[in-house]
């Protein structure tokens, strides 16, 4: 995987570099790195590794907390000159079509884990190795990681990048995602 393109991107939170990473230049859905033009690599950088969630990130779905985590992270990286990695791993790595199939099963009473397993997938089919590659390409050696996910913390073990601090992303539960957040906390071990 390598960086194929980079451009300045002004968004409401500030002006950032946006870089596209992929295996080939023909990739239509590359991973993205969005980072402050003022980022200081001599100290720990606030980093969010965010897996794509079209329903939450774009449409503001209340079934999950993904969109709210993305918004909160963008505010933090804007204020602290940090970095956001946007990994194309929709639906914990199962893709959008299967994620919608999992939603149908959840509407019939299965939780998010059981729905994925029922469809023949793992509990979480994501991989964070590519995020580590992106951080190394940018030259980041120390991070403060914005996450509640222990698997993202484990991704730094033996990576050569020092995880200095974990910054929790606390999103208030609502009726529509209370069960989802409960599964994340009590079954997946997310740190709230």
**Is 124 labeled as catalytic in the residue annotation?**
yes
Distance of CA 47 to the CA centre of its chain: 10
Longest dimension (CA), the chain: 51
Q: Which of 124, 125, 137, 182 is catalytic?
A: 124
Q: Which of 48, 65, 92, 126 is catalytic?
A: 126
Whole-angstrom distance, CA of residue 149 vs CA of residue 171: 13
Angle at 85 (CA atoms; ends 185, 155), nearest 5 degrees: 55
**Is 63 labeled as catalytic in the residue annotation?**
no
The number of beta carbons lying within 10 Å of the beta carbon of residue 77 is 24
Whole-angstrom distance, CA of residue 165 vs CA of residue 143: 7
Whole-angstrom distance, CA of residue 132 vs CA of residue 140: 9
Using alpha carbons, select from 84, 97, 100, 62 the residue that is nearest to residue 145. 84
Whole-angstrom Cα Rg for the chain = 16
Distance of CA 19 to the CA centre of its chain: 16
Which positions are annotated as active-site residues? 124, 126
């Amino acid at each position: 995987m390598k960086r194929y393109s980079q451009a300045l991107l002004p968004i409401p939170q500030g002006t950032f570099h946006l870089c596209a990473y992929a295996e080939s230049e023909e990739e239509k859905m590359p991973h993205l790195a969005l980072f402050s033009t003022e980022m200081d690599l001599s100290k720990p950088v606030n980093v969010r590794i965010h897996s794509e969630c079209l329903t939450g990130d774009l449409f503001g779905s209340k079934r999950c907390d993904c969109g709210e985590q993305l918004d909160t992270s963008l505010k933090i990286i804007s204020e602290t000159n940090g970095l956001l990695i946007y990994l194309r791993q929709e639906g914990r790595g199962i893709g959008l079509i299967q994620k919608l199939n999992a939603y149908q099963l959840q509407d019939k009473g299965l939780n998010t884990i059981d729905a994925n397993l029922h469809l023949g997938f793992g509990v979480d089919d994501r991989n964070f190795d590519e995020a580590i590659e992106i951080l190394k390409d940018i030259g980041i050696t120390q991070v403060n990681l914005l996450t509640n996910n222990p698997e993202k913390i484990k991704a730094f073990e033996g990576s050569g990048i020092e995880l200095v601090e974990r910054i929790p992303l606390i999103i208030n539960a609502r009726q529509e995602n209370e069960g989802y957040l409960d599964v994340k906390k009590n079954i997946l071990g997310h740190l709230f």
